[in-house]
Structure 1
Amino acid sequence: MPASFEANQRRDLLEAIESNGMMVSKQSLIDEPNAAFLSYILNSESGKSTLQIPDHYQPNVLVFDFGAGTCDISILEVGKDNHGMYSKNIAISKFEKLGGDNIDKLIAVDVLLPQLLSGSGFAADDFLTREMNEHIIPSLMPSAERLKIQISEAVKLQLDARSLPDVANSEEVISIGKPVSIDTTKGNLSIEEPTLTFKEFAKINNVFTNQNTNLPAKRVEGELEFPTVFMPIKSALKKANRTKNDIDFVLFIGGSSKNPFIQNSVSSYFNESNILVPDDLQAHVSVGAAIHSLVFNGFDKNIISPITSEAVMLITKDGYHERIEPIVSAGTVMPSDVIVIDNLSPQRDGQEVIELPICVGSNDKILHNIKIHKPDGGFSTLDKVKLELEINSDKVLLIRATAGTQKVMAEPMQPFSNSALSTKERIQKRAERDFNLECEKNGGEPTYEDLLNLYNAYVKVGHAFKAAETMEQIEQQFPGRGNLNNIGLYYSQAGKKKKAIDFYEKGLEKQPNATIAFNLASEYKFSDRKKYKEYLEKAHEIDPEDNVANYNLAKEYKSEGKTEEADQLFKKAFDNWKEKFDTNQMNEWDYSWFASCAQEMGKRDYAQHILDSKPQNRFEGAYNEENLTEITRQEGLQKQ
């Protein structure tokens, strides 16, 4: 017999679910895959499902919740005891960049976009990615979704157990039967009749069902990512310390699980599991959430206790090396007990600031950097640093830090509510958010200052392509205020050689200088030695004192056997750089060039001295490693 609630409890639950007067607290919320499982269990009592729970065996159930915008995986252990059914959540994995919308988007990018550009004379590179991502691709997605649904329904009609029908990989064409027209900065582009073949759709789905990669497929200069569904599946299995053969049941939930290609691939992967596909894949989450809310609010009980999806960690120092220590393990039941860590200390006497960087998942995803200050004399290495932390029922992480007599209550953190971002991603997202807000204030149009701030943020985080595009947009909207050399430089760094050359040539024509001429020469170094030398000589002609141009032209002369000319330019560049070096006027890029020049002149020890003298610039925005704490015992963090 399937496990269930007692009959009178079930009746009360159903009556309560149908009522509308219940107040729902945050604490009564539940992860969606777990809510779906509760609803499915309730249906099993009515004979509407095939989930059977034996008396002396605890099956593992993997809930595959694939919706429009998320792919959530939950693994539960279920069983029966004297009180009826029980369930225990042992792992959860959330991917908020993976859902049915991503399939629509990839159809739009890989299939419909080429149809749109066909015959127009334009290529995708002719459009700024902002226009592509925010206007062109979204305009194609409704057609992509309709094509996806039509093919999915056609395949589903012929689906046989875990095998796809022959039509699934055929050249048969599906069309939505009406044109699509999009107004762009290059004019109006249109598709007379958007089409998609079954084979093309199968290829799209192969991107999302690739079992052999942990890296998402990328499109549009890496801006669009398309992860495989097996990334969250394997992540959940790893967290649960289970293999795929340990899973007894796989329950499909969510509208995008209707996709027969996704369903077939996941079912084939769990080839020893019982596959559960409800008649209604979309209603179970809301029903299960209502059940959980009633039990929590009415009986003060969690049917399935939520757990942490990722580990929360602290970054500390061990001698010269940083180390990352888990302070809350993945899979910790929420609300948690209070955890006390009291074997931390400052690194040195007189340390005026103690930093306690808290991260989730990995050390590049900083949640918060707790800082404790003691400006008058600083801390002693004998001062004990203590952390007290807990996760409450609202999934909020609360931390209090103490160092000597100084106490700090950290701002509440929600490490499991959204995808964790790296420090650089946070800076980029914040800059993009601020940019969009400022544009809204200005009627949708960015000001020069807005674009310049966004450009500087992209430069800071090392996003060369976006930096180039943003500076190009400055030049388009505010002619003469864009830096043509920098546009070329960042396009070059992003691997866009053709666009880099185009902007370098425009810059050299508009305002000739040695830097642009040298950068243009560099684009031809390995493809056209004649042009390479021509532009090096152009740079030297424009500015005979330019060190980089002189050094590289000297190398070119040396390769041609022009020893005297080469030696003169090497010495000139070396003497100029040495003067800058001795007077502390070096630019960041000067150090490597100067060291190479010294090496070329046989001054190897001096070249190493130059490199050793280069300031080590740390990326700002994370933490200062000099202010980290040390663990005072060899065995690692001590938790109480």
Structure 2
Amino acid sequence: MSNIIIYPIEEQNKITKNPINIGIDLGTTYTLMATVDAANVNFNKTNQIPVQFVRFPQFSPFEFDQTIEDEKIASIVAFYKGKPYVGNNLYHLKGHPEFQYKKNIFYHWKVEMGVDHHPLYPNAINEKLDMPYKIAGGIMNYMRKTYSQGNDYELANTIITVPASFQANQRKDTLKAAKMAKISTNDTMLIDEPNAAFLGYFNRLVDSEKERWSKEVKNKNVLVIDFGGGTLDLSLLNVDFRRDTGITISNRAISRYNDLGGQDIDLLIAEEHLLPKVIKTIPNFDSLDISDVKNTILPQLIVMAEDLKITVCNAMSLKVGSGDISNLNLSEIIATRLDNILVLNNNSYDLGELKLTAEKFKELFVKFFRGKQYKFKYFDKAITTISTSISEIIEKSNETLDAVDFVLLVGGSSFNPLLGALTQEKLINAQLLVSPEPDKLVAEGAGVYSFFVNQYGISLISPITSDNLGVRLKGNRFYPIIERGQSLPQIVNIPDFKLQTNLLSEVIVPVCINGADFSIGEIRCSLNKFYDIDTIIKIEAEITQDKVFKMQVIADDEIIGNAKFENPYAIGKLTEEQLEVFEAQSNLNKAQQARNTSEEKRFLKTLIDKHFKANNYLGALENAEVYIKRFDDQDSWIWNMKYILNSRLGRLGAAKKALERAIEINPTEPAWRHNYAVLLEKTDAKAALEYLEMQAEDIKEETTIRCKIALLKNEVNKDTTELQKIVKDYKNNPAGFSQFDKRVLLNDIFGQVDEPYAYIDPKTKRRKEDEGKYLDMNNLPF
């Protein structure tokens, strides 16, 4: 054994008598437990920490399934005939007719940890399963009981991994799950998964390799790409070795939360490769409810897609050898799946033999790697691509792509050979670090980290802030309060702000992330007295170890406003409309938790409207279908919204069906008649005009119908007479026209007759008024 110091410890610094240290990788697809017995660690002989993985028996609800024993526990919980089950023996039950997702079988719950909507799974068969953290707690409790051989004692010295981008509420949910599982908790028991993965990788190096790193790796940047079943998590680390203290590992930057994982690849294959075959097989597919496609058809296709993905990746891996796929003939590598039966509404559809070539798989996977964003067709989800995530984390660290020295690929989805190949194309100077078991490195690193923390009180890696948090000032300027890349916790006091005028009765402080255009909320401060324009306004802010952001606004040593943002990084870069959706969803779930159905009904309708205004047509449509099934199938407004939303999504069969239902319920509503004319106009403008002209006089007198008839007359007969009348009426009485007329129809009408027209959105007007209440600064530092 050489005299080179690898780890910064001394034997006399031991702080605990309990020799057993535990690391748990609480994963989206699998959960693992790794242990380190301090009695077996001898730095005089080796710098490799002996890590043991615990094996767990996993049972099926059905007697004919053999018990599985494995180090990996599938992160699945099922409830069958009053009894809970955990693990790999439930994997084949996804899509089984006796198991309904989020009712009596739960998986991929991790991506919903921290969502403050109670209950998140309102259809759960048991209230012990109605929130993601309860699912997580059940899995870890099963592990604890099995590891302790049935003894009910609390598990100590335990570290649990979380995505680096997990924020306060997500981390709190993880701790709640640990408490449920009778695992001793504290504020320092969580470690970011990419950081744990690097520790696991480094630990697996033999001593000669560790010594080579200590001599050759000086101030090097390591990008860890943790691509798991449900999340893409990146961490840029700086690794250095010092002669007197050994290895030092510091976070340079962490990625924004991105719930992109292996499950999304399965969904991508299902939507783009398999669903077209289903559309040809099922009659009138275009008229199906979106919930049938999302909750019944796609879950079955996803199981088929996952099989094809694993088979084609394994075939590529066997042929690729060195990791270079450039010499492979991808069109000749084919995955085949036989006997594919799809069940919908008690009808079975035979999809026959399904195939996926490596060439097609690459074509699909590139959509997740390159470009800016990918949006699914039938799921309310848009993901940031892998390449964009890499570029963002490099930008955060104030580095360049060619400054990355090493890339470590970890997580179950890193078995996909395309990930390494495409990453190598982007980071041409980086050396790929590979492991034969990339899906076990996080758990191993957690065990290693647990050993150092619990035996010596040493944290090998410290957390940092991931983005700039600040305020919007007069003139739409951004002032950073707490900057990215700072070690946690941070407390700042900035006494440099001032009022715009001494006549203000209210001060508004928009709190933003990374720039003035990305608000995460605001502090509205009502002033109980008039302050002089020279009054110094202070902002005191704090971001805690678990990334809770607190802010106070102070005038003359008096607090005039304060706020707490528990998840600032997660909701950053949302538009104002998207923030309103977030608030509406929170209100809806609070009503559900309180079992207040009247409020639930009201907030659900609000949420549909907010989704629509945020251009999230799929999210609005999903909630509209819930409203009809749960509350009122005679609400013509909801059916009209279904028409609009299906139209925007290109589902014209379902759109026409919904609009006809709206008219059937309320035949005297002019707006529904207008929309039906729009539907007819897509193929025949003359028929649309005739349809409106045959309506009752009171309907034709309504301004929206008048506007539409005028536009159609000009389109069909080149007659502008009605257009001229409407322009004159609007100038005489603009209040007589609706916001829809002003926003949508009148601009076209004025344009047709060459008249100038201006429309000011009420929200824009309010924003202009608010800007006069923002804080100002004499001297900005930029």
TM-score by length of 2: 0.68
Name 1:456's counterpart in structure 2.
609
For 1:454 and 1:466, the matched residues in 2 are separated by 9
TM-aligned CA distance change 1:513 to 1:74, over 3 Å: closer
Is the Cα–Cα contact under 8 Å of residues 200 and 441 in structure 2 kept in the other structure? yes
Matches within 5 A, 1:92-491: 92-123=254-285, 125-164=286-325, 169-184=330-345, 187-189=347-349, 191-210=351-370, 213-214=371-372, 216-220=373-377, 223-296=380-453, 298-318=455-475, 322-336=476-490, 338-363=491-516, 365-375=518-528, 377-407=529-559, 410-415=562-567, 418=570, 420=572, 422=574, 423-432=576-585, 435=588, 449=602, 451-467=604-620, 470-471=623-624, 474=627, 478-483=632-637, 484-491=639-646
Name 2:672's counterpart in structure 1.
516
TM-aligned CA distance change 1:517 to 1:378, over 3 Å: same
Shift of 1:434: 5.5
Is the Cα–Cα contact under 8 Å of residues 53 and 78 in structure 1 kept in the other structure? no
TM-aligned CA distance change 1:601 to 1:148, over 3 Å: closer
Deviates more, 1:21-30 or 1:385-394: 21-30
**Residue 306 of structure 1 aligns to a residue in which SS?**
coil
- TM-superposition CA deviations, 1:132-183 (whole Å, max 9, x none): 3344323332332222222211211111324227666225542344534333
Name 1:533's counterpart in structure 2.
689
Is the Cα–Cα contact under 8 Å of residues 341 and 348 in structure 2 kept in the other structure? no
Shift of 1:33: 1.1
Supply the AA of the counterpart residue of 1:348. Answer: T
Name 1:78's counterpart in structure 2.
239
Supply the AA of the counterpart residue of 2:778. Answer: T
Is the Cα–Cα contact under 8 Å of residues 374 and 383 in structure 2 kept in the other structure? yes
TM-aligned CA distance change 1:557 to 1:349, over 3 Å: same
Is the Cα–Cα contact under 8 Å of residues 61 and 76 in structure 1 kept in the other structure? yes
Supply the AA of the counterpart residue of 1:143. Answer: M
Deviates more, 1:161-170 or 1:270-279: 161-170
For 1:9 and 1:512, the matched residues in 2 are separated by 85
Deviates more, 1:447-456 or 1:350-359: 447-456
TM-aligned CA distance change 1:364 to 1:222, over 3 Å: farther
For 1:104 and 1:11, the matched residues in 2 are separated by 49
TM-aligned CA distance change 1:359 to 1:27, over 3 Å: farther
For 1:446 and 1:615, the matched residues in 2 are separated by 29
**Residue 394 of structure 1 aligns to a residue in which SS?**
coil
Shift of 1:493: 5.0
- TM-superposition CA deviations, 1:54-101 (whole Å, max 9, x none): 368422211121111111222222222232222222122144221111
For 2:600 and 2:524, the matched residues in 1 are separated by 36
Shift of 1:472: 5.8
**Residue 205 of structure 2 aligns to a residue in which SS?**
helix
**Residue 213 of structure 2 aligns to a residue in which SS?**
coil
Is it true that 1:18 corresponds to 2:36 in the alignment? Answer: yes
For 1:107 and 1:208, the matched residues in 2 are separated by 11
TM-aligned CA distance change 1:45 to 1:625, over 3 Å: farther
**Residue 511 of structure 2 aligns to a residue in which SS?**
strand
**Residue 18 of structure 1 aligns to a residue in which SS?**
strand
- TM-superposition CA deviations, 1:185-210 (whole Å, max 9, x none): x8554545544333332222222232
| Equivalent in 737, 740, 754 of residue 589 of structure 1 | 740
For 1:99 and 1:84, the matched residues in 2 are separated by 35
Shift of 1:500: 4.4
For 2:438 and 2:200, the matched residues in 1 are separated by 11
For 1:303 and 1:394, the matched residues in 2 are separated by 17
Shift of 1:474: 4.8
> Unpaired segments of 5 or more residues in structure 2?
22-34, 38-154, 158-183
For 2:710 and 2:768, the matched residues in 1 are separated by 42
Is the Cα–Cα contact under 8 Å of residues 36 and 287 in structure 1 kept in the other structure? yes
For 2:208 and 2:613, the matched residues in 1 are separated by 60
**Residue 738 of structure 2 aligns to a residue in which SS?**
coil
| Equivalent in 35, 58, 64 of residue 225 of structure 2 | 64
RMSD: 4.0
Is the Cα–Cα contact under 8 Å of residues 478 and 516 in structure 2 kept in the other structure? yes
Name 2:42's counterpart in structure 1.
none
Shift of 1:353: 2.2
**Residue 466 of structure 2 aligns to a residue in which SS?**
coil
Name 2:778's counterpart in structure 1.
632
**Residue 52 of structure 1 aligns to a residue in which SS?**
helix
- TM-superposition CA deviations, 1:316-351 (whole Å, max 9, x none): 213xxx222222222122233x32211112222232
Is the Cα–Cα contact under 8 Å of residues 674 and 708 in structure 2 kept in the other structure? no
**Residue 497 of structure 2 aligns to a residue in which SS?**
strand
TM-aligned CA distance change 1:535 to 1:466, over 3 Å: farther
**Residue 36 of structure 1 aligns to a residue in which SS?**
helix
Is the Cα–Cα contact under 8 Å of residues 703 and 738 in structure 2 kept in the other structure? no
Supply the AA of the counterpart residue of 1:67. Answer: G
TM-aligned CA distance change 1:248 to 1:202, over 3 Å: same
**Residue 535 of structure 2 aligns to a residue in which SS?**
coil
Is the Cα–Cα contact under 8 Å of residues 644 and 655 in structure 2 kept in the other structure? yes
TM-aligned CA distance change 1:450 to 1:456, over 3 Å: same
For 2:559 and 2:224, the matched residues in 1 are separated by 43
Supply the AA of the counterpart residue of 1:588. Answer: Q
- TM-superposition CA deviations, 1:450-491 (whole Å, max 9, x none): 653443333454434544564466556744323344443444
- TM-superposition CA deviations, 1:116-140 (whole Å, max 9, x none): 34422143x4333344334432333
Name 2:97's counterpart in structure 1.
none
For 1:361 and 1:562, the matched residues in 2 are separated by 52
For 2:466 and 2:590, the matched residues in 1 are separated by 32
Q: How many residue pairs end up in the alignment?
A: 615
TM-aligned CA distance change 1:342 to 1:229, over 3 Å: same
- TM-superposition CA deviations, 1:297-329 (whole Å, max 9, x none): 5545432222212111211213xxx22222222
For 1:465 and 1:21, the matched residues in 2 are separated by 45
TM-aligned CA distance change 1:187 to 1:313, over 3 Å: farther
Name 2:204's counterpart in structure 1.
43
TM-aligned CA distance change 1:190 to 1:442, over 3 Å: farther
**Residue 383 of structure 1 aligns to a residue in which SS?**
coil
For 2:695 and 2:273, the matched residues in 1 are separated by 45
Shift of 1:526: 6.5
For 1:552 and 1:258, the matched residues in 2 are separated by 57
**Residue 474 of structure 2 aligns to a residue in which SS?**
strand
TM-aligned CA distance change 1:556 to 1:165, over 3 Å: closer
Deviates more, 1:478-487 or 1:78-87: 478-487
Shift of 1:285: 1.8
